[in-house]
Amino acid sequence: MGRSGAVTFKGTPLTLAGKALAVGDAAPDFKLHYYKDGLKELTLADLKGKPTLLSVVPSLDTPVCAIQTKKFNESVAALGDKINAVTVSLDLPFAQARFCGAEGITNMRVGSDYQDRNFGNSYGTLIEELKILSRAIFVLDGAGKVAYVEYVPEVASEPNYEPALAAVKSLA
């Protein structure tokens, strides 16, 4: 069930797999991978109990994705361990770890959807034509309900940071 024309990339309409999530929906489960002293898994259950900011990007090795990750990393620093903050992409876990080390990303975790794209399909962010994730922001409450969502209409554009940060701060 794709959503034709749901986003554009440099003006070209593209199809997002799955359905769009809305405020009030139960967040779908997922299994992401990250690298820290070996490959490890991150699931929705690991994040429950605290508000969560999920920042979804096509690839950390692109300028807008790097800006987005750095901006959220800076912005959530003051919240400390009151929230979870995760950047999700299809980059390999090793590349994500390298990026975070090189860029000083210490307040955001990273999770890779590279194995089966279960996150992209269930959160409605997988671009069918390109097989990468579109740019999106999700804020989940501590019980795993969607409290804020933004599917950025133009993949090459930055998200609307302030409403997402306001949503996660109001839950912290």
Quick one: pLDDT at residue 78? 95
Q: State the pTM of this model.
A: 0.97
Question: Is-catalytic flag, 65?
Answer: yes
Q: Which of 17, 27, 65, 110 is catalytic?
A: 65
Tell me the pLDDT tens digit for each residue of 72-118: 999 999 999 999 999 999 999 999 999 999 999 999 999 999 999 99
Three-state SS for the chain is: CCEEEEEEECCEEEEECCCCCCCCCECCCCEEEEECCCEEEEEHHHHCCCCEEEEECCCCCCHHHHHHHHHHHHHCHHHHHHCEEEEEECCCHHHHHHHHHHHCCCCCEEEECCCCCHHHHHCCCEECCCCEECCEEEEECCCCEEEEEEECCECCCCCCHHHHHHHHHHHC
